[in-house]
Amino acid sequence: MEIEKLKQILFNVNHLCSHISCSRTQIKKIDFGEHKQIYTDIERLLTIYVCSLLDELVVFEKFVHKQDNFYLSDTLYVIVPLIDYLKQFDSLKVKRNKLLAHLNRDQSKTFNPWWKALDGKRFSTTIQEDRMLFSTIKCIHDIFKKRFAKELKEVLEEFNKEIDIYEKKIMEMPSVDTYKDIAPTIEEVQNRMKERDFTFTILSRM
Tell me, what's the pLDDT at 107?
A: 87
Residue range 63-82: average pLDDT? 96
Residue range 160-179: average pLDDT? 91
Residue range 129-142: average pLDDT? 94
Tell me, what's the pLDDT at 204?
A: 62
Tell me, what's the pLDDT at 22?
A: 94
How many other β-carbons are positioned within 10 Å of the β-carbon of residue 195?
8
DSSP state string for 29-76: TS-TTT-HHHHHHHHHHHHHHHHHHHHHHHHHHHHHHHS--HHHHHHH
Residue 166 — very low, low, confident or very high, per pLDDT cuts 50/70/90? very high
| Res. 181: pLDDT tops 90 | no
Residue range 108-136: average pLDDT? 90
Report helix angle 3-27 to 149-171, nearest 10: 70
SS3 category, 105: strand
| Res. 5: pLDDT tops 70 | yes
Task: Give 162 or 202, the one with higher predicted confidence.
Answer: 162
Q: Which of 23-37, 57-71, 151-165 has the lowest mean pLDDT?
A: 23-37
pLDDT tens-digit map of 74-93: 999 999 999 999 999 999 98
Return mean pLDDT, the chain: 92
| Res. 136: pLDDT tops 80 | yes
Tell me, what's the pLDDT at 180?
A: 85
**Spatial separation of the C-alpha atoms in residues 4 and 136, rounded to whole Å:** 26
Tell me, what's the pLDDT at 199?
A: 85
Provide the percentage of residues in the chain whose pLDDT is more than 70. 98
